[in-house]
Chain A
Amino acid sequence: MLKKTTFTFVMLASALGVVAAEAAWKPERPIEFVVTSGAGGGTDNIARTIQAAIQKNKLTDANIIVTNKGGGSGAEGFVYSAMAKGDPYKFTFGTNNEYLLPYVAKLGFKSTDLVPVAAMALDEFLIWVHKDSPYKDAKSFIEAAKANPESIKFGGSQSKDTDQTLVSIISEATGAKFTYIPFKSGGEAAVQLAGAHIDANVNNPNENIGQFKAGMVRPLCVFSPKRMAKGPKVSGDMAWSDIPTCKEAGIPVETYQMPRTQWLPAGVPEDAVKWYIDLLAKVRQTEEWKQYIERTSQTEVFMSPSELAKFAKDEEAKTVAVFKREGWLAQ
C-alpha cells in the first residue's frame, strides 16, 4: 500500500515538476472515524457532527465512515487503532479516557500507542439535584452530606471513570462522603435523577439539558474557572451563565473539564497529522460546528498536538493521585 502510494506520488511529482508543501499528504481511500463510545454517546455525537460538517461543506473528497467501538469503556476502539500502527486512515475520537484508562485496567494499549491531533472542546461538569431537593446551593448540599455521611446517592456514568473520579475529588476537597452509583451512561443517570431515585449527579450540560429545560432537575454549580457562556434563558428564568462556579459556591475544586480529543495511531507521517489539523480548523468555521457547541454548552478550544500532550500530562498527574487514593490502579 505504502509502496503504491509513494509510486503514484513520485509519478505525479515528476510530471508536475513541483512538490507543493501543503499537498504532502492527502487521503486516497476512505477515512475511518473510530468512535470510542457506543452510538448516541458524547464521543459519538461529536464525531458524527464533524462528519456532517465535512460532508455538507465538502471539506474533503475522501469518504468518511464512522465505526463505533465502545467496548470496555472505549478500550476496544483504542486497541483497534493502536494495532493499526502507522495507518493515517484511523482517525480516533475519545475523551481523557485515552490516557487515563490504561491506569485502571490492563487493556492491551498504552497511551503512547496513539499520537495527539487536537482537542476541540471542553465539556463542563455540574452538580445537579432533583427539583424538589432541599439543597438550594452547593454549600447546603455539602453540609448535609457531611452531617450524614454516605446518605447522599450520587449517580454517574460508568465506574472508575470521569464521573466517579470527580465525586472522589469533591469528597477529598470537602471531607463529605457520598455513595456513588454507576449507571451505563450519563443519560441513564439523568433519568434516575429526574425520577428522584438518586439525590444528585455530575452530568455534562448536554446529558441533563432535557430534564433541565423541563424544570425536573436543578444545577447547583459548575466545575469551571469562570461561569459558562452567556446565552438565552434555558429553564424558567435561568440561563447557563446564571449557574455559579463551584469555587464561588464554596467547593474548593476549581476546574474539572473533559476534553473531546482526536488521535491517530503512532507512526503516522507528520504531514498526515497536519492535514487533519487543517481539516478540523475548517470544520470549526462551519455552521454545523457552531450549532453543536451552542447546543451542547461546551467550551470551545482548539489544542495543538503539543498543547493536548501537555494537558494530558497535567491531568494524568492529578487524576492518578485520585486513583491511588481510591485503590483503582491496575497492578
Chain B
Amino acid sequence: MGNFGNLMDGFVIALSGYHVALMVAGVLMGILVGVLPGLGAPNGVSLLLPLTFTMDPVSAIILLTSMYWGALFGGSTTSILFNIPGEPSSVATTFDGYPMAKKGEAGRALTLAFLSAATGALFGVVVITALSGWVAEFALKFSSPEYFAVYFLTFASFIGMGSASPFKTLVSMMLGFAFATVGMDTVSGSLRLTFGFTDLIKGISFLVAVIGLFGIGELIVTMEEGLRFEGIRAKVTPRDVLHTIARMPRHWVTLLRSCIVGSWMGITPGGPTAASFMSYGLAKRFSRRKEGFGSGEPAGVVAPEAADHSAGTCAILPMMALGVPGSATAAVMMGGLMIWGLNPGPMLFIERPDFVWGLIASMYLGNVVAVVLVLSTVPLFAAILRIPLAIIGPVIVIVCFIGAYTVASSTTDLWFVLAFGVAGYAFKKLDYPIAPLVLAMVLGDKAEGAFQQSMIMSKGGLGIFFSNGLVSTIMALALLLLFWPLAGMLVSRLRRHGM
C-alpha cells in the first residue's frame, strides 16, 4: 500500500506538461540514436548530460531514461531491418527478426518487437513497483559464485540443441571465448593474447565483431546471391500494424515466460543481454515449431525483445539501490546522478523519494509514449528499404564501418570489421552457427572473472558453487537444462522399447 501511495505521488510529479514534453523529446532523440548503428544509448545519454546540469534531477532523469527507451526501440529496428544489432542485448532479435524482414514481413516483425518490448518494460516496472523494498536486499545476496551460476544458466539454456555439426558449434563458441579473453584480465591484471600489438590492449570489441559477422557478412551473402533486398522491399501499411496488434495475444505464453525471465535477470542482476539469449533459448526449447526458429519464427522475436526490456527496466532498481550500473548507459546515468548531487545507494529511497518515485512513474508513461511514437513510425522505417540497393547498400556498409569506428576511434577496428565480415560470410555458407560465438564473446569474460573470483574466495574448491541454497538452485537448474535434450532422448527411447 505504501508503494502504491508513493507511486501516485510519483505520477503527480511525472504527469506535468513539461515532463511529458521531455519524454516525447527524449524518446524521439533516442529513436534517432538507436537507429544509427554508430550511435547508441550511451552516446545519446552522455550527449544530453551537459544539458541536464541546469535541470532539476527529476526532470533530468526523465529526459535521460526516455532517451534510453527510445534508443532501445530504435536498436531493435536496425536488428530487424539490416541484421545490425546496435546493442548486445538486441543480438538475439536478429536471429528471427531479420529472416522475417527478408520474407517480406518487416512491418510485422517490427510491430511484434515493439509490442513485446513495451509489454516487457511495463511488466518490469510493475515488478519494480511491487518489490522495490525487497529487490535491493535480494540483489545483495549475489556474489561471484552466484554470478557465475547465472552466466552458466544462460549458456545452458541457449546451447545443446542446434542442428549444426557439433564440431562447428564447438569451434564457433570457443572462438567467441578466445576473442573475449584478448586484452587486460581483471583478475590477474595480465595482458593476454595481445602479442605485443598496442591496438589489442583494449580487447576486441563485441560490437565490432557483431557488425562484421552479421552486418557485412550478411551483405556479402546477399550480393553473392544477386538479390536486391527484394523481399524486404515490401510495403508496410498501418493496416498490417493493426493486424499484428490484434494477433498479439496469441503469444501470451512466450511473453509471460520471457517477462519473468527478464525481470529475474534484471534484478539478480544478470543483465539484459543474458536475459534475451536465455529467453530465446527457452522459447525455442518449449516451442512446437523448433525448426522454424532461425528462419523467421515470430516467437523468436517476441521472446528476446520482451526479456531484454523487462530486464533493462528491472535493472534500474539495483542500480539506484546499490549504485552498481548494469550497463554502459546506466553507468553514464549514474555519473549524472552524482553530478546532480544525488548519491545512488540504499539511502536514495529514503532521502529523495520524490526522485525515485517520479522516475518509476515516468517509466510507465515513458514506455507508453515510446511505443505509440515508435509504432506510428513503423511504416516510415520500413520505407528506408524502398531506397534502391545501389544507394542503400553502400550506405549500410558505411554506417557499419562508422559504427565500428566510434566504438574506440580506432582505424584498426575497420580492418577487424572487414575480417569478421569475410568470416561471417564463410561461416554462414558452411553452416557454422554464429550465435554461440556471439554469446561466448559477450558473456565469456564476465563468466571467467566470476569463476576466478569464486576460486580465490574458496581457495580453489569447486564446492563453492553449491555452498548455499541460492547458488545451488541456479546451478541445478542450469545442469537440468543442459542435459534436458539427453534426458528427452532417453525417455523417448525407453518409451519406444516399452511399446
A interface vs B, CB < 8 Å? 38-40, 44-45, 48-49, 51-52, 55-56, 66-67, 69, 71-73, 75-76, 79-80, 104-108, 153, 158-161, 164, 179-184, 187-188, 190-192, 194-195, 197-198, 209-211, 213-214, 216, 288, 291, 295, 328
A38-B331, A191-B322 are known contacts. Are A67 and B198 too (CB-CB below 8 A)? no
A38-B328, A56-B53, A210-B347 are known contacts. Are A71 and B456 too (CB-CB below 8 A)? no
Q: How far is the CA of A80 from the CA of B344 in the complex (A)?
A: 32
B397 interface hit (Cβ, 8 Å): no
Q: A69-B408, A71-B201 are in contact. List 19 more A-B contacts (CB 8 A).
A: A39-B332, A44-B335, A51-B50, A66-B46, A69-B202, A72-B202, A76-B202, A107-B191, A159-B189, A179-B457, A181-B144, A187-B325, A191-B323, A192-B144, A194-B322, A198-B457, A210-B347, A213-B345, A291-B341
Segment from B2-10, B180-188, B295-303 that makes contact with A: B180-188
Q: How far is the CA of A192 from the CA of B145 in the complex (A)?
A: 12
6 smallest A-B Cβ distances: which pairs? A210-B345, A71-B202, A159-B189, A40-B331, A108-B198, A197-B143
CB distance from A330 to the nearest CB of B (A): 9
Q: How far is the CA of A52 from the CA of B53 in the complex (A)?
A: 7
A39-B331, A295-B341 are known contacts. Are A328 and B49 too (CB-CB below 8 A)? no
Q: How far is the CA of A49 from the CA of B347 in the complex (A)?
A: 23
Q: How far is the CA of A273 from the CA of B285 in the complex (A)?
A: 62
CB distance from A103 to the nearest CB of B (A): 12
Contact B324 A328 (CB under 8 A): no
B189 to A, closest residue via Cβ: A159
Which B188-223 residues sit within 8 Å CB-CB of chain A? 188-191, 196, 198, 201-203
A66 to B, closest residue via Cβ: B46
Contact B456 A181 (CB under 8 A): yes
How many A-B pairs fall under 8 Å by CB? 145
Contact B183 A214 (CB under 8 A): no
Q: How far is the CA of A161 from the CA of B188 in the complex (A)?
A: 10
B250 interface hit (Cβ, 8 Å): no
Cβ-neighbour of A105 out of B142, B191, B334, B346 (below 8 A)? B191
CB distance from A331 to the nearest CB of B (A): 12
Contact A79 B189 (CB under 8 A): no
Cβ-neighbour of B142 out of A75, A106, A195, A210 (below 8 A)? A195
Query: Which residues on the A side are within 8 Å of B343 (C-beta)?
Result: 209-210, 213, 295
Query: Which residues on the A side are within 8 Å of B332 (C-beta)?
Result: 39-40
Q: How far is the CA of A211 from the CA of B185 in the complex (A)?
A: 28
Contact B201 A214 (CB under 8 A): no
Contact B189 A328 (CB under 8 A): yes
Query: Which residues on the B side are within 8 Å of A55 (C-beta)?
Result: 50, 53
Contact A48 B143 (CB under 8 A): no
Contact B201 A161 (CB under 8 A): no
